[in-house]
Structure 1
């Protein structure tokens, strides 16, 4: 987006300048001042991991569920940045963690970027860990595609369905295509089905690199 239309409030929030943020608000700046792309100062504070600024904005009445023209919420920004402190604060102020529509998903974002602390915060607020988005699949699937073992572990221990991926592709199909035997092993420990077939009638072992440790591990479980 264009930076030319950012207000001093956006600047202060994005740089974590508490004092100037307080001053600007006391001077009558609108807490939800928008850029052309409908980015609010709260979006900026969360993307910058500035929980102190986010708190001041929320206490001044900032819209916790404001969405940009791309459908991005402050919570999505917090999860993108890996700011568990901002995520916790937003949820405590009524942020909606999951939307029915295809708006960008904070849970999938945290899972794909390996931000396990943010994921833990979301889980503690009772998200549906198996939320299945048509273009992405489940958070577990996304974490397997991105090889984020800490997130995979968090999701499995939170009760994520080990078989639910993206349509017929299971998390194990995704993991088998990478080199981490540790991730494959973890999925198997949680009962992943080695015989699950994807749309091409391929099993996870069929997708593993020939003679790799992942292929050997899957063959052992036949």
Structure 2
């Protein structure tokens, strides 16, 4: 490890500046192929990053996971570093080893400013990773309502499906985040889309015991008697977790109490045996 790499690793900006003024090579890499700028980004050191870039540090670099410096800055949620890198024309839509863009990695609530900066610079909103997930899927998974709203308001596909055919609405029905569910429905999310296993968001809400979300979906047109790949309805699903409030609501609103699944069972049969 060179002295400059060590200074960057130890977050010592003064030493790094001294070494650079005395001819240290800012692009010299160590055994892990990281240069000093990698460590500056990793440490969130804006001053050091500016110093290195102004002295000719390369920014179009990828690590062993194919991640760029922009990926790293976005993942730690450092909007100032993201802004600095964007000033120097990085490949904003670069993919890492799981085909994630910087936006995929900036979906935690603490990364909201970085995410908004990426969006304002035109990053692809509906890029899909190796699992066919968009940033919207991850934003919902991370309960990041601010980012969900930002993505939708900038034109992200609200009904984008992942590798299992699930939309953001499926995700939120499982996570029981009513506020995000309400927002997605208000923005036109399709309440009757079926995933690969033929489940709708209503199935997911019923299985998860998300009563408020299930009611919200039904109030906005969800098919109460739609069946999954085992011919089970949402009413069957409530029988597994004995969510009586939701069970009664479904029955009162037209759920077929005589519906049978592929094994010939009604919801009552499942309640008895479960």
Determine if the alignment matches structure 1 residue 37 to structure 2 residue 98.
Answer: yes
Under a length normalisation based on structure 2, what TM-score does the superposition of the two structures give?
Answer: 0.70
Whole-angstrom distance in 1 between the partners of 2:198 and 2:146: 26
Q: 1:194 maps to what in 2? A: 257
1:114 aligns with 2:176: yes
Distance 2:128 2:113 in 1: 21
Equivalent residues of 1:140, 1:165 under 8 A apart = no
Question: CA offsets per residue over residues 4-27 of structure 1, 9 Å max, x none?
Answer: 432222222222211111111112
Instruction: Measure the CA separation in 2 of the matches of 1:40 and 1:48.
Output: 17
8 Å contact kept, 2:218–2:224: yes
TM-score (norm 1): 0.85
1-structure distance, mates of 2:105, 2:182: 22
**CA apart distance, 1:141:** 0.5
Tell me whether 186-195 or 172-181 shows the greater mean CA deviation: 186-195
> How well do the aligned residues superpose, as a CA RMSD in angstroms?
2.2
* 1:164 correspondence with 2:234: no
1:180 corresponding residue in structure 2: 243
In the TM superposition, what is the alpha-carbon distance from 1:136 to its structure 2 partner? 4.6
Q: Which runs of 5+ in 2 are unaligned?
A: 1-62
Q: Distance in 2 between matches of 1:146 and 1:179?
A: 11
Q: The residue matched to 2:103 in structure 1 has which SS?
A: helix
**Residue correspondence of structure 1 range 73-222 to structure 2 within 5 A:** 73-99=134-160, 102-167=164-229, 168-209=231-272
Deviations 1:57-109 (A, max 9, x none): 01101001101121111111111112121111111111112247854422211
Instruction: Render the CA deviation track for 1:122-154: whole Å, top value 9, x for unaligned.
Output: 211212101112315111001112222232122
| Distance in 1 (alpha carbons) for counterparts of 2:151 and 2:176 | 20
**Which has the bigger relative contact order, CA under 8 A and spacing at least 6?**
1
Q: Distance in 1 between matches of 2:160 and 2:100?
A: 19
SS in 1 for 2:199: coil
Deviation (angstroms), 1:187: 1.7
What corresponds to 1:13 in structure 2? Answer: 74
Query: 1:197–1:34: structure 2 CA closer, same or farther, 3 Å change rule?
Result: same
Residues 103 and 160 from structure 1, CA distance in 2 versus in 1: closer, same or farther, beyond 3 angstroms? closer
